[in-house]
Amino acid sequence: MKVAPLNLYYGWFIFNFVMNSLFKTIALIGKYNNPEIMAPLLRLGEFLENRNLVVVLDSLTASNMPETKYPILTLDEIGLKVDLAVVLGGDGTMLNIARRLAPFDVPLVGINQGRLGFLTDLSIETMLETLSSIFEGNYVTERRMLLSAEVIRGKDSLFSALAFNDVAVNRGNGRGMIEFEVHIDGEYVYSLRSDGLIISTPTGSTAYALSCGGPILHPRLDLIALVPVSPHTLSNRPIVVGPEATVEILMHRTEGARIHSDSHSHFNLNKNDKVVIRRSPHTARLLHSSSHSYYRMLREKLGWSGFS
């Protein structure tokens, strides 16, 4: 009988030690003000405790619970102290948490309790089995780009925000179209009369931008899509630019125009305001099961199928 060399046993021990040490403190974050999330969240907490992992809750999630035995942390404290954040909710919840935790580079796992679930791709029914597999090292990591947006009025910076999906300039409640110029890397590209313009990441290419005829961009691509919203001139089509591009929008006719960051942060725009959008230095780190397939997800979420 052959005996494996000692260094193989040692290597196996170190490998398993490292894999089992990756995630020691886990944050549970649920969709805000949604009582339906409490039962699966508590079940998940018990599962993690049984694996001798430290469980913490974010403060907004805990505020919806009558009591909890887990430590309660703010999102900033979670960013500094945890090894993994598990988000239970829909894509909107994940968008918010990803923006907040991206500067801390905390890996995120999403469990879908919403509708489509492009970002929260684990199901509640199989979450325990899938997380067990992830804790054993069976996962893939995706780095998703974010955008930073800034509004400059005269010499003053009046607004800034991060966007995981997109930055959109829209006409708001105005009755007419808005008018603006678009510059990329300092070069004039076009003037646009439309209901707005969406500047999208690959993640956001399956959101608002898709409903306006934009292209679907694979999340491994670091690209920025510019998608007009109901342009007056039909020759204004979506274009895709590189990740280092700086997009500038100079407002002319505003008609109540607003800038929206992930439909979360808003700011009213005036004539001559300049909106500057560029790639953020931060990225969102998403973990998926090793069996995750982006194309299978597109088929399921968008209802693609074979010939009928």
User: Residue 287 pairs with which residues in a beta bridge?
Assistant: 141
The tokens for 224 are: 């920025």
Those residues with Cβ within 8 angstroms of residue 291's Cβ, 6 or more apart along the chain or in another chain: none
Q: Is 195 a catalytic residue?
A: no
Say how far apart CA 210 and CA 222 lie, in whole Å: 17
Put the strands of the sheet holding 265-268 in their side by side order. Answer: 239-241, 224-229, 196-200, 166-170, 258-261, 265-268
Going by their DSSP bridges, the two strands 139-153 and 156-163 should be labelled as antiparallel
Q: Which of 58, 76, 91, 222 is catalytic?
A: 91
DSSP structure string for 87-105: EEE-HHHHHHHHHHHGGGT
With residue 292 as reference, give the H or E element that holds it. Answer: none
Active-site residue list: 91
